[in-house]
């Protein structure tokens, strides 16, 4: 019997890597990549579970799935961090440099 490759294994691996690399870009873009990667993983797992002896690159799919899960976690932490920063400083302070300086100084004084 001829072994085939799972159709989305390479795409899942690339999406997992990109989701980790883009976690510092406000978290939204990387989260979308990771979720798409997990969806493609689910589709390939259904295909693989139907006839596992037919496919040879399951380990690549599994690695991509793990990277996508790590990407979801890192991007969720990144999103929560940016929400916390906006909550602490205020969205209006990002438009006014003097107000931003004042609020940052206030946060530093509170930390002491």
Q: Where are the domains of the chain?
A: 9-111
What sign has the CA pseudo-torsion 63, 55, 35, 31?
A: positive
Q: What is the pLDDT of residues 49-73, one digit of tens each?
A: 999 999 999 999 999 999 999 999 9
Is residue 1 very low, low, confident or very high in pLDDT (cuts 50, 70, 90)? Answer: low
Instruction: Calculate what percentage of the chain has a pLDDT beyond 90.
Output: 91
pTM, two decimal places:
0.89
Residue 104 pLDDT exceeds 70: yes
* In the block, residue with structure tokens 């205020």: 90
Mean pLDDT of the chain: 94
Nearest residue to 60 via CA among 16, 22, 91: 16
The confidence score (pLDDT) of residue 20 equals 97
State whether residue 4 is helix, strand or coil. strand
Residue ranges with strand state E in 13-110: none
Burial degree of 8 (CB within 10 A; 0-12, 13-18, 19+): buried
């Amino acid at each position: 019997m001829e072994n085939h490759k799972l159709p989305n294994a390479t795409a899942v691996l690339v999406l997992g890597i990109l989701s980790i690399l883009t976690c510092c870009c406000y978290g939204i873009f990387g989260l979308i990549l990771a979720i798409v990667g997990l969806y493609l993983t689910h589709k390939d797992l259904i295909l693989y579970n139907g006839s596992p002896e037919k496919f040879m690159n399951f380990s690549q799919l599994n690695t991509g799935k793990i990277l996508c899960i790590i990407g979801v976690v890192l991007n969720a932490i990144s999103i929560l961090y940016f929400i916390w920063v906006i909550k602490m400083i205020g969205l209006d302070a990002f438009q006014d440099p003097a107000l931003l300086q004042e609020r940052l100084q206030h946060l530093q004084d509170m930390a002491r």
